[in-house]
Amino acid sequence: MTGRTLKSSATKHRTGGRAPALADNMLRCVYSEKQIQKRVRELAKQIDRDYQGRTLHVVGILEDSFIFVADLVRALTIPVICHFMKAEIHDTSEGPTALREIIYTPKLEATGWDVLLVDGILQSGLTLNYLYLYLLGQNPNSLRTASLIEKSNERKVEVSTDYVGFSSKEKFLVGYGLGYGEKYRNLPCVARFAKAA
């Protein structure tokens, strides 16, 4: 399925249901539903080994991670407690200086927890790093991160990346929880916008 162009009139969901509406956009699949599910199972096995005998607090960053978190926690066999945090980003400037304000809700008290902070896509690293440092300040027992997709070529800050599904240099990715203008999150695969010929 990799490299295949998706069209709303032709694409069918694997279970036989209707394809997600793609409006007039042409999208090209980068990671198929089958590839994603295989990789999620592999990550879950690794996480199970690393946290054997412990309860894991999975903290998903909304909205990009919600499908990834749902599939990941269902593939885990260790005890899991789920949390979600929503990060709102406001970019402003003071003269030549660019400023980024990150507001997150709800606040968590992670003292003594084994925490896995999960994002759907790791690009600049600013939001993940901010939330990582916030949770670290709560004195958790342990703190690691997981991302479905890592785009290291767009990184602006160094941030811990413990579990990564895929590495990509694609510009705009949508599907499997990732959105563009809040659309396309329902696609079963991860796709990029195909450039017009």
Kindly report, residue by residue over 7-49, the tens digit of the pLDDT: 433 333 343 444 444 444 578 899 999 999 999 999 999 999 9
> Which residue's structure tokens are 């949390």?
83
> In whole numbers, what is the pLDDT of the chain averaged over residues?
84
Number of domains in the chain: 1
CA 10, 13, 17, 20 torsion-angle sign? negative
What are the residues whose beta carbons fall under 8 Å from the beta carbon of 179, sequence distance 6 or more?
63, 64, 185
Residue type, 106: P
Q: Which residue has the higher pLDDT, 123 or 101?
A: 123
pLDDT mean over 113-129: 93
Burial code (b: 16+ CB inside 10 Å, e: under 16) for 110-148 equals: beebbbbbbbbbbbebbbbbbbbebbeeeebeebbbbbb
pTM of structure: 0.80
Give the pLDDT score at 183: 87
Edge-first strand order for the sheet with 5-6 is 5-6, 27-31, 190-193, 173-174
Phi, psi of 128 (to 5 degrees): -60, -40
State what percent of residues in the chain have pLDDT above 70: 84
pLDDT of residue 157: 85
Greatest extent of the chain over all pairs of C-alpha atoms, in Å: 55
Can you give the residue range of the structural domain that contains 103?
5-193
Task: Give residue 98's pLDDT.
Answer: 75
pLDDT, greater one: 142 or 171: 142
Outline where DSSP puts E strands in 36-150. 56-62, 80-94, 97-105, 114-122, 142-150
CATH number for the domain that contains residue 113: 3.40.50.2020
Q: What pLDDT shows up at residue 96?
A: 81
pLDDT tens digits for range 137-160: 999 999 999 999 999 788 788 887
